Amino acid sequence: MDRGIINFKETELSNGLKLITIKKSTDLFSVHAGIKIGSIYERKDEKGIAHFVEHMLFKGTKTKSNEVLNDEFEGIGGEYNAYTDYNCTVVHAAGLKEELTKSLSLISDMLINCNFPEEEIEKEREVILAEIRTSIDDVEDYSFKRAHAAAYKNSPLKYETIGEEGTVKKFTRKDIYNFYHKYYVPNNCCISIVSSLEHEDLIKLAENYFEKWLRKDFRVKDIIVENNIPIKKITFKDNIEQSSIIYIFTFHGLDEKSELALKILNHKLGESANSILFRELREKRGLAYDVYSELDTSSFVKSLYIYTAVGKENIENTIACINSCIEKIKSEEFLFDVDTINLMKKVLKTAVILTIEDTSELCNYVLHQIIEKEDIYKFLTDMKDLKDIKKEDIYEAARTVLKDPTIHILLPKESDIFEG
């Protein structure tokens, strides 16, 4: 692979909007428009407001009602949606290449002219409250919610992106509109477009639909960065059969080489279908059906998670097994040899090719690289740098990161295990 594998051009429009055009031989297009405002930028009394704005983007503009806007999106014949995460809010659309111009027209109208009808706000408030209640009913979602609440004192990671019932119920139209008006500005926006059109043609299209969007000064709040609190926390919940266990480890301040070593560690620990945790918990001991580890290297997040669901009678044995796996890695009993690193090269290369081949995945990947101020070709640097990663680097990453976890245990409410 070389740096020509993605044919892209980065342009900044006169109003500060960042545009990344990606030329690809395809009959499809994909557009991802990201506003760099997510839940980590919210004040405590704003928890869930970025997500609320995201929902309202589809509820009408100054010239189009909710019905007209969504009918026109539907008329594209492709896909359209939006999401909010810790760092940003993203609106995206994909379809046949001849529908690109229409999609840009609709997305620009949403981002620039959203009008927040009062009656639609009240309807959407109920939808979001239902979403919050659904997440409480889902054991895995609820477990992560409670684990994050236990892991942090002041960090915004303590709170769910979708918000809490209390705050969502209190938002007024003025609150929601003011948040949108403050942060939905071109100089806080990045748009990626994948299509077969030439870069200059895409730039002209973007200028046509977005250049009248007025630049505005804004300031985001300072983000509190915390390490997880080393604690074991138990929560009880009605009407569940399975219990769950979540470990949270944070790694703020780790250098790039150590993060790369951590990616190899995570793959072997619990990301792969033949991971250490899978073999030890499921294959050898039959303690759990579902077990995995997950790594989030996003700015201000920097967390490694372990999750498993087990019977309440197996809680103590499962925790002992996870702890044993961690200690055996740190003491170098589990081997990370040259074959392990070479396998990771294959895994990374496969993931890169899968992303590049998929128009929407490529568009989303590029958008987030730009929002995170990362090199689009960072995957090439990572593959090159993998050859310099030694087993000692992986063990050192394990000893640095896999310590002092937050451990959250979710138990059926009638359970008395650990009580007293």
pLDDT at residue 417, rounded to an integer: 55
Which secondary-structure segment (H or E) carries 55?
helix 49-56
Buried b or exposed e, range 140-172, using 16+ CB within 10 angstroms? eebbbbbbbbbbbeebbbbbbbbbeeebbeebe
Alpha carbons 279 and 285: distance in angstroms, whole number: 8
All domains in the chain, ordered by first residue:
7-210 (3.30.830.10), 231-412 (3.30.830.10)
* Secondary structure string (H, E, C) spanning 69-119: HHHHHHCCCCEEEEEECCCCEEEEEEEEHHHHHHHHHHHHHHHHHECCCHH
Handedness of CA 25, 30, 33, 39 (dihedral sign): negative
- What is the CA 362 to chain-centroid distance, rounded? 15
Locate tokens 């999401």: which residue?
83
8 A C-beta contact, residue 59 and residue 113:
no
Q: Say whether pTM exceeds 0.85.
A: yes
Q: Residue 243 burial by CB count (10 A; 0-12/13-18/19+): exposed, middle or buried?
A: buried
pLDDT in tens, the chain (420 residues): 778 899 999 999 999 999 999 999 999 999 999 999 999 999 999 999 999 999 999 999 999 999 999 999 999 999 999 999 999 999 999 999 999 999 999 999 999 999 999 999 999 999 999 999 999 899 999 999 999 999 999 999 999 999 999 999 999 999 999 999 999 999 999 999 999 999 999 999 999 999 999 999 999 989 999 999 999 999 999 989 899 999 999 999 999 999 999 999 999 999 998 899 999 999 999 999 999 999 999 999 999 999 999 999 999 999 999 999 999 999 999 988 888 888 888 888 899 899 999 999 999 999 999 999 999 999 888 888 988 999 999 999 999 999 999 999 999 987 555 543
Q: Residue 306 burial by CB count (10 A; 0-12/13-18/19+): exposed, middle or buried?
A: buried
* Secondary structure string (H, E, C) spanning 322-381: HHHHHHHHHCCCCCCCHHHHHHHHHHHHHHHHHHHHCHHHHHHHHHHHHHCCCCCCHHHH
Alpha carbons 49 and 168: distance in angstroms, whole number: 7
Locate tokens 């809010």: which residue?
89
- Measuring CA to CA, how many Å separate 211 from each of 4, 12, 207? 29, 10, 5
First to last CA, the chain: 59
8 A C-beta contact, residue 332 and residue 395:
yes
pLDDT at residue 419, rounded to an integer: 47
Q: Residue 134 burial by CB count (10 A; 0-12/13-18/19+): exposed, middle or buried?
A: exposed
Alpha carbons 157 and 14: distance in angstroms, whole number: 35
- 265's tokens: 């560690």
pLDDT at residue 337, rounded to an integer: 83
Locate tokens 């529908």: which residue?
99
